[in-house]
Amino acid sequence: MLTVGVGASTGATAEEVLAAIDAVLPPTAGPVRLATLDARAAEPGLQEAAARRGWPLTGHPAAALAAVPVPTPSDRVAAAVGTASVAEAAALLDGGELLVGKTALGRVTVAIAVRDDTGDVDLRHHGDAEVAPGLVDLAVNVRADAPPAWLREVLHRAVDASAGYPDPRPARAAVAAAHGRDEAEVLLTAGAAETFTLLARALRPRRAVVVHPSFTEPEAALRAAGHPVERLLLHPPYDRLTGVPDDADLVVLGNPTNPTSALHPYATLAALARPGRVLVVDEAFADTVPGETESLAHRTDLPGLLVVRSLTKTWGLAGLRVGYALGPADLVAALAAQQPHWPVSTPALAALAACTTPAARAEADEVARRLAVHRSALLAALPDGVQVVGEPASAFVLLCVPGGAWVRERLRERGWAVRRGDTFPGLDGDHLRVAVRDPGTSRAFASVLAEILAEVQTPEETR
């Protein structure tokens, strides 16, 4: 990933911006993004230049840029805009190495940094790492309150019955009935994430492709097992699923996708299934969408389709580790062969059976509809200067905030935990994932965020 830092005078045209960039951009450049001072991100010339090339454009607060060490700081620039560097600091803000130092061409100054997104992203970082005592948790995108009383009763009874070994048969039958599947097509797992480890152990893919930005555990599991992984990075707003190689024999993607909250059309996903390919669709958040409108869980006619599901999100059972997968009987058997004996606990099996009844599924749908209302309240409360990425459809929203890493630290200081975005391939430090909570909590969060953004001074000149 190349980040082109841009400093431009007021009125610089798109032609001037692109001429300055093209003068130093390597001929074999990969994905490119533009970054600048937030006071200049709204300049028509910069916006038009980004739009012409399809490059994302991000503006950063002067305070965030001022904290970045650069090789050629300028006292004159610091006096004018509040940071000793714009182009170099914007290029380096999200890490990497400076490929092209500050270079001026007319009214535009550019610098380029390169970051190896295949090796420097912490694929094992998850939202729970952001949470600490005393912080309001908007980083973990699961139900914030305890499971409902009826489910707690089920779990209590299951604990009392845990002296014997787990019996998976009732839970498997319940899941199969809920999705209209044969029981041989159901794999019960200790959390949905276990499925990705089982896949990595059971399969020997020739060309494994993981669609990003997305949940990082599938790629982490494949790499840990020694499989090479090819990343397919979608373009903002990350809701157009194109470019899957025809010869990929393992394709992994999410729907809705974590952390983008994008919901891909049912038909688009179904078209990716073909003989000789295992198509893994992570539907851990499918039950957060009213009616599960784009779910493939019931499709038994698509070759190689494996749908991964979770009870964690809607029912608040992250600590119980309970999930399942649905797919062809031979693939399910191959994955099950990689599990130890009794892989799913008695309480988890009880939850599976209880949460897949018609009554429980109806309750989950009602929760999803209430979630949609709460999500709208969060979006309405967000302050100016915060970009909502795409059209969120799940229990979280992806935001793009100028100086996101700096903002995230200020939020922590004021008692709020949000999920950093730069550990997702294809995203950067300006991306923050925020869980949907009740409207009161969301409004309180938005108020604090507005105060933090208001602290940022935006001087007039940006060179």
pLDDT digits (tens, 9 = 90+) for 25-77: 887 556 788 989 988 888 999 999 988 887 888 888 888 899 899 999 999 89
Q: Per-residue pLDDT averaged across 383-405, rounded? A: 93
- Cα separation, 2 vs 22, whole angstroms: 13
pLDDT of residue 116: 59
Tell me what pLDDT residue 462 has: 40
Q: Which pair of structure tokens corresponds to residue 193?
A: 């994430």
Q: What is the CA radius of gyration of the chain?
A: 24
Reported as a single tens digit per residue, the pLDDT across 109-120 is 999 998 755 556
**pLDDT given for residue 203 in this prediction:** 94
**Mean pLDDT, rounded, for 187-204:** 94
Helices 194-202 and 329-336 cross at an angle (nearest 10°) of 100
Alpha-carbon distance of 314 to 32, in angstroms, equals 37
Asked if 408 contacts 431 with a C-beta cutoff of 8 angstroms, the reply is no
Average pLDDT, the chain: 90
Contact 314, 367 (CB under 8 A): yes
- Whether pLDDT at 463 is above 70: no
Model pLDDT, residue 457:
47
* Ordered domains of the chain (ranges, CATH): 2-114 (3.30.420.180), 127-144+363-454 (3.90.1150.10), 149-360 (3.40.640.10)
Task: State residue 2's pLDDT score.
Answer: 84
User: Hey, how many other C-beta atoms are within 10 angstroms of the C-beta on 5?
Assistant: 29
Mean of pLDDT values over 230-238: 91
> Would you say residue 458 has pLDDT above 80?
no
Question: What are 56's two structure tokens?
Answer: 């994302």
In this predicted model, what pLDDT tens digit does every residue of 263-321 receive, in sequence order? 999 999 999 999 999 999 999 999 999 999 999 999 999 999 999 999 888 888 888 89
Q: Pseudo-torsion of CA 218, 222, 223, 229, nearest 10°? A: -90
Buried b (16+ CB within 10 A) or exposed e, 423-443: bbbbbbbbbbbbbbbebebbb
Query: Per DSSP, what are the bridge partners of residue 308?
Result: 282, 325
The structure's pTM equals: 0.75
pLDDT above 50: residue 189: yes
Structure tokens belonging to residue 183: 């029981």
